[in-house]
Structure 1
């Protein structure tokens, strides 16, 4: 008989459980019935027990987390309370997409993904009518029919791609957990959109125009403040005082984007605790990074100057900017600079393009941009043909 240990389990305790000469069991008390079997090989597996010697395997740790195992065990025990025995198959496999989503995938994603609630909600909204179907009955034709219907209704290709990514990831997790033999949508390709291949960066003339527009905007706002203070003084009112640094967030956010390649969402969420001006490093935290991983950005001299200047008027340890939208200011800036077809996100392309044209290798560019693999970065490999022409000219004898 395996050795039995009874206590309320914790994530740290489960991770720290070491293999022994024989199988032993850690039994959770919340819910009662959840156990973790630890094999001499080091393998750890969850199961739920009830009655006399009856048990059902739930999944392996760490693929199934403690939170996910507790949720799955609670569902099985609820079925036993209602029906006297689990309703699902003896092997514990989810026959339908709905059973898998609600009993396995949802608790796993909610416990492990920062946007877990949104992911589960989106899958149910789009694919809820598949929930009564066996997972192995889902076909590529099913997806194509759904995609066509939604595209004809005005859905954007980007939305279709996100939907596909979510359902493919869910089905692939079922394969990982051996609840499904193969992923029926594994071979389906994302819609290739022109926007995904778009690489828009500033020409030298446009770059100067943008910076000139930023300077002119600052000068205009400072002059307006000065006129306003004079109006207040004339009426014996307290003046607001001259700006000590930047007049608002627009110029520092734009300059920081141009010098770091940060996404707008990252710029909005960085905090002063993420900025080390002495070491000239800014850390993008996993909690708001698109790929869910920390990345450390070296700051060049202009970026350091921008942050140092902004810091004077914004002390503390809160958000550096804390602004989630600057659409009006950005569009007005482009109008003043007479720059067309240039989005805020394109400053990220501009940053990467300038690095590549300066001879920086693609893997370093990938790390700076926070791309999870080199595929996304390869779009910059074929930029600026004039630089290629200059390179081959070096071969002329």
Structure 2
């Protein structure tokens, strides 16, 4: 190793690099020696190639000695470096805090929330959220910093949606996205305080579909679908007689079809739980007529072998050709693919199947979701009232309720 050499400044010395040059001279490494708290200290500074010179080293040494003389500030180079690092971190933290405060709703949604939150969301949800963001949220909130968004701005969104004739459900979805974005910002330090959505009154929404098909309507629809698209017919048949959602039909693989027990294993359902569906003979016949694939292949693959992501427009055309939606404006009364699942549940209740069993077959998380079908079993309530009548005395004699003395 090269020998240390004294510089022209007391307390400053250097050693030359054996081969590396800085300019025409060999690169030099500088160090300073001094007394600190009664101890002899030597600390390295750096190379000429890093900007160090004899004068710069001497000035630093003079600064440390002056701090020691006055009893203020760092008296060792390590203390000075630690102080500088602490100041740098404080500046960075302040800069970061200012950036967090200035970030707008649209910037946060696009750059931070969506890439993170949407990783676990399904395609249909992503499309709906993007539509609500572009059509309602960005125009009203996009340029506002998160910290400046107040309940009054959300009330304006509610009014805009209502003025455009959109359903309360649209408002509910829009507010839900805003709530999720602010909760995300709270967790990641981009927002402080109370979520503004918590102070906004949510619209009353009853978006539950109440329309179901009669057996005659269902058969007519299946016939139309079979003529238009045998594949769509089979998907509709599966939903109608097994209560599957469209997404559950699209995800079904041959490995989840158990012909021996007449069951389907439904995975990645809306509730996040795996459930079992039971298929009758008519569905068995349909499934057996299809060409079985490998364990992981879908029963209803898209063209090219991929995954179907939405119901074909042929379904709507078949419904319209039968006039099933003629004169109907209420979306809860219109026939859509989900009506088939609703029909499945309605038929079960009409045939005397109890609500708890229907709940389990549908995969509802709570019985309250299934109670919408309770009115379809009117005989149950009639029998309940008749029980009271049957237990009353028939003699016409009045029974005294007074205690005997």
Question: TM-score range with shorter-chain normalisation?
Answer: 0.5 to 0.7
1:14-25 equivalent positions in 2, closer than 5 A:
none
CA contact 2:253–2:298 (8 Å) conserved in 1: yes
Report the CA distance between 1:271 and its aligned residue: 2.9
Q: SS in structure 2 opposite 1:87?
A: helix
| Aligned twin of 1:377 | 370
Among candidates 207, 214, 217, match of residue 215 of structure 2: 207
The 2-side partners of 1:278 and 1:53 are apart by 70
Instruction: Say whether residues 1:328 and 2:314 are aligned partners.
Output: yes
How far has the Cα of 1:247 moved from its partner?
Answer: 7.8
Q: 8 Å contact 2:243–2:345 — kept in the other structure?
A: yes
Q: Which residue of 2 aligns with 1:12?
A: none
1:253 aligned to which of 212, 227, 235: 235
Structure 1 residues 198 and 93 mapped into 2: Cα distance closer, same or farther (>3 Å)?
same
1:87 counterpart residue number: 95
Partner residue in 2 for 1:280? 262
Matched residues in 2 for 1:175 and 1:278: separation?
Answer: 51
1:173 and 1:394, CA in 2 relative to 1: closer, same or farther beyond 3 A? farther
Q: Secondary structure at the match of 1:297?
A: strand
What is the CA-CA distance between 1:185 and the residue it aligns to? 0.9
Instruction: Give the TM-score, by structure 1 length.
Output: 0.57
Aligned structure 1 segments of 4 or more residues deviating by more than 6 angstroms? 53-56, 83-86, 90-95, 337-340
Question: How many residue pairs get matched?
Answer: 288
Offset at 1:319?
4.0
Work out the CA distance in 2 between the residues paired with 1:339 and 1:119: 24
1:167 aligned partner: 178
Question: SS in structure 1 opposite 2:361?
Answer: helix
Distance across 2 between alignment mates of 1:94 and 1:365: 51
Residue range with higher mean Cα deviation, 104-113 or 357-366? 357-366
Deviation at 1:383, TM superposition (A): 3.5
CA 1:325–1:96: 2 relative to 1, 3 Å: closer
Deviation at 1:146, TM superposition (A): 1.5
1:149 corresponds, among 144, 148, 160, to 160
| Residues 266 and 284, structure 1, Cα contact 8 Å, conserved in 2 | yes
Contact 2:324–2:335, Cα closer than 8 Å, also in 1: no
Residue 6 of structure 1 corresponds to which residue in structure 2? none
1:353 — aligned with what? Answer: 346
Pairs within 5 Å for 1:1-397 = 52=85, 87-89=95-97, 97=105, 100-101=108-109, 104-115=112-123, 118=127, 121-122=130-131, 124-125=133-134, 126-128=136-138, 129-175=140-186, 179-186=191-198, 188-192=200-204, 196-202=207-213, 206-211=214-219, 214=222, 248-286=230-268, 289-309=269-289, 311-312=290-291, 315-316=293-294, 317-320=297-300, 322=302, 324-328=310-314, 331-332=317-318, 343-344=335-336, 345-397=338-390
* CA–CA separation in structure 2 for the residues paired with 1:89 and 1:154: 41
Deviations 1:58-83 (A, max 9, x none): xxxxxxxxxxxxxxxxxxxxxx9xx9
The structural deviation recorded for 1:365 is 3.3
Offset, 1:142: 1.6
- The SS at the match of 2:264 is strand
Structure number with larger C-alpha Rg: 2
Q: Which runs of 5+ in 2 are unaligned?
A: 1-83, 303-307, 327-332, 391-405
* 3-state SS of paired residue (2:248): helix
* Deviation at residue 212 of structure 1 after TM alignment: 6.0
Q: Are the equivalent residues in 2 in contact too, given 1:250–1:330 (CA < 8 A)?
A: no
Cα RMSD (Å) of the superposition? 4.2
User: 1:66-102: CA deviations, max 9, x gaps?
Assistant: xxxxxxxxxxxxxx9xx97662228978875456545
Deviation at 1:145, TM superposition (A): 1.1
How far has the Cα of 1:356 moved from its partner? 3.4
Q: Deviations over 1:171-195 (max 9, x none)?
A: 234455674332221254554456x
Contact 1:200–1:346 (8 Å) recurs in 2: yes
Aligned 8 A contact 1:96 1:135 in 2: yes
Deviation at 1:262, TM superposition (A): 1.6
Q: Do the aligned partners of 1:136 and 1:184 also contact (CA within 8 Å) in 2?
A: no
Shift of the 200–190 alpha-carbon distance from structure 1 to 2, 3 Å rule, reads farther
> Structure 2 length as normaliser, TM-score?
0.56
Given that 1:270 and 1:321 are in contact with CA atoms closer than 8 Å, whether structure 2 keeps it comes out as no
1:377 CA drift (Å): 2.9
Instruction: Give the match's secondary structure for 1:283.
Output: strand
| Contact preservation (8 Å) 2:221, 2:318 | no
